[in-house]
Amino acid sequence: MGTVVDAVKQEANGTLPNGKKVQVVFVLGGPGSGKGTQCANIVEHFGFSHLSAGDLLRAEIKSGSENGEMIQNMIKEGKIVPSEVTIKLLQQAMMDIDNEKFLIDGFPRNEENRAAFEKVTGIIPEFVLFFDCSEEEMERRIMNRNQGREDDNIDTIRKRFKVFVESSVPVVEYYESRGKVRKIDAGKPVEEVFEAVKTVFSSIHAKVA
């Protein structure tokens, strides 16, 4: 049976149901903070696998499975997909991919997600990579990249910012209080942002080595 000591031993590492040990980094940042670009760089330079909770949900819907139908119906009705559903998809993806190092992008979206993830998986993230960017800069970027995307109008963008501040910032604050947040100034040019990211990831490589 797991004890408090075992739980402490799990710090920063977790074991999946198939016995595989994994290292998880949560990647958080507002819409337009550049998370996707930097995740691609981290995958290329540091050998992590990139998991997006949103992509996994969309793939499950496309698969036509019973689970996918349930997810689609919930989204249609404007309901939030239960944390456990998203977590099980993340867990399954980590078991299916031949890698031990994972970037989980855009999750946990809120405190309930965070608590459920730790409870269901027993995994404590190595750290949280937080792309800190001003709303003005994120708004400018989103409007510049607007290629007819419906969700890229100014009102919708501002709503997304509001949701991010209300839901995701408390998650960042929770991990910050535990010394697990690595904050990146994401308002700088892409190359400079990646230099800061490299410093963070090089330090965990040194620790592992």
CATH number of the domain within which 170 lies = 3.40.50.300
Intra-chain end-to-end CA distance of the chain, in Å: 31
Q: Please indicate, yes or no, if residue 74 is contained in any of the structural domains.
A: no
Q: Please indicate, yes or no, if residue 131 is contained in any of the structural domains.
A: yes
Q: Tell whether the model's pLDDT for residue 183 goes beyond 90.
A: yes
Was 113 annotated as part of a binding site? yes
Was 172 annotated as part of a binding site? no
Was 68 annotated as part of a binding site? no
Alpha carbon distance 17, 120 (integer Å)? 10
- The contacts of residue 64 (CB under 8 Å, 6+ apart) are none
Mean pLDDT across the chain: 86
Q: Residue 168's closest CA among 28, 7, 37?
A: 28
Q: Please indicate, yes or no, if residue 66 is contained in any of the structural domains.
A: no
Q: Tell whether the model's pLDDT for residue 11 goes beyond 50.
A: no
Tokens 């939030």, residue? 80
> Containing domain of residue 34, as a range?
26-46+100-208
43 compared with 156, residue with greater pLDDT: 43
Was 159 annotated as part of a binding site? no
Was 123 annotated as part of a binding site? no
The CA distances from residue 191 to 46, 144, 186, 203, in Å, are 16, 19, 10, 19
Was 145 annotated as part of a binding site? yes
pLDDT single digits (tens) 22-34: 999 999 998 889 9
Q: Please indicate, yes or no, if residue 59 is contained in any of the structural domains.
A: no
Is residue 130 within 8 Å of 34, Cβ to Cβ?
Answer: no
Per-residue pLDDT averaged across 107-117, rounded? 94
- Give the Cα-Cα-Cα angle 179, 53, 104 (nearest 5 degrees): 35
- The contacts of residue 197 (CB under 8 Å, 6+ apart) are 38, 41, 42, 129, 184
Separation of CA 100 from chain center? 16
Q: Tell whether the model's pLDDT for residue 9 goes beyond 50.
A: no
In this structure, the strands spanning 127-132 and 49-52 are unpaired
Was 87 annotated as part of a binding site? no
Say what the pTM is. 0.84
Q: Please indicate, yes or no, if residue 157 is contained in any of the structural domains.
A: yes
Was 109 annotated as part of a binding site? yes
Per-residue pLDDT averaged across 103-109, rounded? 92
Was 114 annotated as part of a binding site? no
Q: pLDDT above 70 covers what percent of the chain?
A: 88
Was 80 annotated as part of a binding site? yes
Per-residue pLDDT averaged across 46-74, rounded? 92
User: In total, how many domains does the chain have?
Assistant: 1
Q: Tell whether the model's pLDDT for residue 199 goes beyond 90.
A: yes
Question: How confident is the model at residue 31, as a pLDDT?
Answer: 87
Q: Please indicate, yes or no, if residue 180 is contained in any of the structural domains.
A: yes
Q: Please indicate, yes or no, if residue 56 is contained in any of the structural domains.
A: no
3-state secondary structure of 49: strand
Q: Tell whether the model's pLDDT for residue 206 goes beyond 60.
A: no
Was 122 annotated as part of a binding site? no
Q: Tell whether the model's pLDDT for residue 77 goes beyond 90.
A: no
Was 162 annotated as part of a binding site? no
| CB neighbours of residue 135 within 10 Å | 16
Was 81 annotated as part of a binding site? yes
Was 149 annotated as part of a binding site? yes
